[in-house]
A and B are shown apart, each in its own frame.
Chain A
Amino acid sequence: MLDAALLDDLAGRVGDRWVATDPADTANHAHDWWPRLLMRRRAGEDLPVPDAVVSPGSRDELVDVVRWCDAHDVAIVPFGAGTGVCGGAAPVAGAITVDLKRLNAIGGLDEVSGTIVVEPGVIAQTLEDHLRHRGWTLGHFPSSIHCSTVGGFLAIRSAGQASSFYGKLEDMVVGLDVVLADGSLFSTRPVPRSAAGPDLTRLFLGGEGTTGLIVGATLRIWPAPAVAVDRGFLVPDVRTGLDAIRAVLRTGLRPTIVRLYDETDTAMVFGGQGLEVPEGCLVIIGCEGDEDVAEFTAGVVRRILSEHGAEDLGPEPGEHWRAHRHNMSYRFAEYMKPGGTFGDALMLDTMEVAGTWAVLPGLYDDVKAALAEHTDLVLAHFSHVYPEGGSIYFTLGAINEGNEARALARYDAAWEAGQRAALAAGGTTSHHHGIGLLRAPYLREELGEVGFDLLRRVKDALDPKGLLNPGKLGLGGRGGRDG
């Protein structure tokens, strides 16, 4: 527990109203959007709250808070919007949670270079609206674009639905500003590429707040596309779909949206709209840009899909997807709340893994089989593809008829089986949701002994006192609050 005199001192730095200590005032920060924590809350558990929540109003105030923490050996949990799905922003005993939403200025738009400067607390959709009003786009469209902060997204190496063209958010970083554990400010030079030694931004992208607090970024932006040409196809099976998509990418063209649904997910997509469920797998491809570019890309896509025996379903499936692209996220509560659509104690989560093209089919089979052992339903789609491979996004659900303990047990078993299967198949355990507390048990195997030791040494060098987001990424420190 933090000393009252110390907290008074802290309040003197950021203002009384921005330091909360009463449990009634810190309850919003008791969990992020890790389903396991939500399940515990749903079961009636009063989740531990942070000892204090501090909301600095400027970069200088944040630096002051971090210095103060360093001086008093107080640990820090960075908190953006608390919509991370791995427990990364969950509170830690003896630590303060630092809410970054007040640092939400959108700065200079450089239309010559095609860059924009942002603070970490900006909600991604707010940034996108700001850019669209001025004829630009960031090109980062995660399903959580409406609710998550840019800082949170950078901290976990997020990916959006148009990543096949625009890349992951980490690929859009031109410059980064970070407050280090001792309060010093590290800024990279905003340049397109550099060979001036190793790329130090990589210490913080994916650091999930364990290596530093991201306080600003210069991001690459694009002119907003003039048109979107969306099209749906039906392929006989997952493997044919993967072959066709790979062939499209090998032309050098880059559709913005590429989605391949497995048979089960295809059935959900069609069934959910009250349509007859076809045999095979749905592919949705969206091509954006100036009209000639989009139409040309779409033409090549049609030719290649046809060569792979795909049935052309026309624009409707793609347009429907685009119009409802965030619906599942908005509908989450309907399933997850007490007495939701599938009764009490539903277990529901998503697991995104990735692998090279050679690995991908086996990765899909093995993870799906592993998850199916512990769940009632596993859906999968492939939605972020690159020249060398792609990611698989599994949705896992289990009905538990009111038995919350069973829901948690099945949850843990499914994650253990799914993650180990991903590693055994040669994939990565996470394509874009990050590690947090959820995947901490698997990071050592993912990185290897030497790799994990290297990470620990980097952490020790950057944060010798272990004050930054202790317990996350399996890096120890003061220990997470979630048992």
Chain B
Amino acid sequence: MADAPGTLPMIPDDVAAAALHGSFCPKMCTFACPVTEATGRDDAVPWSFHRTVSDLAQGRTTADAHAASHLEACTGCLACRVPCVFDQDVPAQVRAGRATVRDAGSPVAGTEDAVAAVADGRSPYGVDLPAGLDADATTGFDVVVVAGCRDDARDLDALRRILASAGRRTALVVPEGCCGGTLADLGAGPEATAAAARLGELLPPAPVVVATDPHCLPALRSTAGDGTRVLDTATALVQLVDEDALRFVSERTRVAFHDPCLLARGEDVTTPPRRLLAATGAVLVEPEGHGASTVCSGAGMALELVAPTDAAATADHRARQLGATGAPVVTACAGARRRLADAGLDVTDLATFLADRLVPEPPA
């Protein structure tokens, strides 16, 4: 893990330079940060991460438990990036900071348990994952569905039913614990790389890989072979609607869509889920904070492992905004669905919502 005992791995120069820059910014994006808003923690203000990481890089602060505690309260939602004229990637700086404190022997809370769980083939979130590879053949798939470490069997099954109804041959791949994304978020870089490589070995060849959890997209893109398109659920399914391969029973249900942060801001995917909902006749009620301005449910950067109380506060805050619509909520991120359900919301995964509205197959 560490290069040599007693030596700190350097925070990469470009990350250190960006953090130093940010540490002189007058905290401009504070308004955007959902964790600051939900918890009032001063060290959740995006600027604070710049300062901590910059001070670590310059040796102005010690890589100890104090520094680790100031690298907790980020959910990786990228909301701070939207207004920032310098396109700062705060989560990348937090990851680098977390890696530094871990190498110095003071990981952020929850890291070593998560690493151990994944080494054991278990979800770092303690979620019971469905069985490993589930396929009726080993080759010839149109789509490989990759489960996230917070997915549940019902939502995965729903997605596969939709794909099957569009005539797609699918395989379901469940990573051995984690795609590596959660470990990378915790600053466990080497273990994250190893987890991603293991997942790569599990993937059967297919032109399309669908990540049910947007948090897995970066890891899958780094492991899936060239020529494989790695897509989120909504983007994959809307293409089938465009091809007229999917038909839904039309029902004028009021729903609010919670845009997952990494989908809306990381992938710029806000229209596909809305088009899918519209295809079922659903009437969309937009909550406060939607589209690229969505407000995080606290599901990212392993916040629920690192700082569970803050993750819960962030979810509660978002649940209040969504609850104010008075409509049931649909989302497209397993982590968000769990967080919001824990906060008391009636929330359904997009795939399950759609699968429940598929036009039934005519009897054979």
Residues of A bordering B, CB below 8 Å = 22, 24-25, 27-29, 33, 38, 42, 46, 53, 55, 57, 81-83, 99, 101-104, 121, 123-126, 129-130, 133, 144-147, 326-327, 329-334, 336-338, 340
Contacts of B22 in A (CB 8 A): 333
A329 to B84, CA, bound (A): 10
List chain B residues, Cβ under 8 A from A22.
Answer: 66
Q: Give Cα distance in the complex from A24 to B60, angstroms.
A: 10
Q: Which residues of A contact B108 (CB under 8 A)?
A: none
B61: A residues at CB distance < 8 A: 24, 27
Contact B66 A25 (CB under 8 A): yes
Residues of B within 8 A of A55 (CB): 40-42
How distant is B58 from chain A, measured CB to nearest CB, in Å? 10
Asked if A29 contacts B30 (CB within 8 A), the reply is no
Chain B 231-247 near chain A by CB (<8 Å), digits 1 or 0: 00000000000000000
Q: 5 A-B contacts, Cβ less than 8 Å apart?
A: A81-B45, A102-B40, A129-B31, A330-B25, A332-B26
List A contacts of B70 (CB < 8 A): 24-25
Count residues of B near A (Cβ-Cβ below 8 Å). 38
Q: Which B residues form the contact surface with A (CB < 8 A)?
A: 20-32, 36-37, 39-43, 45, 48, 51, 55, 60-62, 64, 66-67, 69-70, 83-86, 288-289
Min CB–CB distance A50 → chain B (angstroms) = 12
**Which residues of B are found within 8 Å of A101, using beta-carbon distances?**
36, 40-42
In the complex the two chains form, is B40's CB within 8 Å of A121's CB? yes
**Given contacts A27-B61, A102-B40, A330-B84, is CB(A337)–CB(B27) below 8 Å?**
no
B140 to chain A, nearest CB (A): 50
Known: A24-B66, A27-B61. A146 touches B85 (CB 8 A): no
Among B22, B23, B24, B48, the most chain A Cβ lie within 10 Å of the Cβ of B24
Q: Please state if A83 and B26 are interface contacts (CB–CB under 8 Å).
A: yes
Say yes or no: A82 contacts B27, CB within 8 Å: yes
Complex Cα gap A328–B70 (Å):
28
Among the interface residues B31, B43, B48, which one has the most CB atoms of the partner chain A within 10 A? B31
A471 to B247, CA, bound (A): 71
| Bound-state Cα–Cα, A145 to B83, Å | 12
A29 to B70, CA, bound (A): 13
Candidate in A38, A57, A126 with the most chain B CB atoms within 10 angstroms: A126
In contact, B21 and A337 (Cβ under 8 angstroms): yes
A101 nearest CB neighbor, chain B only:
B40
Given contacts A326-B83, A329-B26, 6 further A-B contacts (CB under 8 A): A24-B66, A46-B60, A83-B26, A104-B37, A123-B30, A146-B29
Q: Which residue of A lies closest to B88 (CB)?
A: A333
Given A55-B42, A99-B42, A126-B37, CB of A333 within 8 Å of CB of B31: no
Distance from B314 Cβ to chain A, minimum over Cβ atoms (Å): 14
Enumerate chain B residues within 8 angstroms of A133, measured Cβ to Cβ: 288
B60 CB contacts on chain A under 8 angstroms: 46
The distance in angstroms between the C-alpha atoms of A345 and B70, with both chains bound, is: 29
B288, A129: Cβ atoms under 8 Å? yes
> Given known contacts A24-B64, A83-B26, A336-B24, is B40 in contact with A57 (CB within 8 Å)?
yes
Residues of B within 8 Å of A124, CB to CB, are 31
List B contacts of A340 (CB < 8 A).
Answer: 24
Q: Which 4 A-B pairs have the closest CB atoms?
A: A102-B40, A125-B31, A24-B66, A333-B25
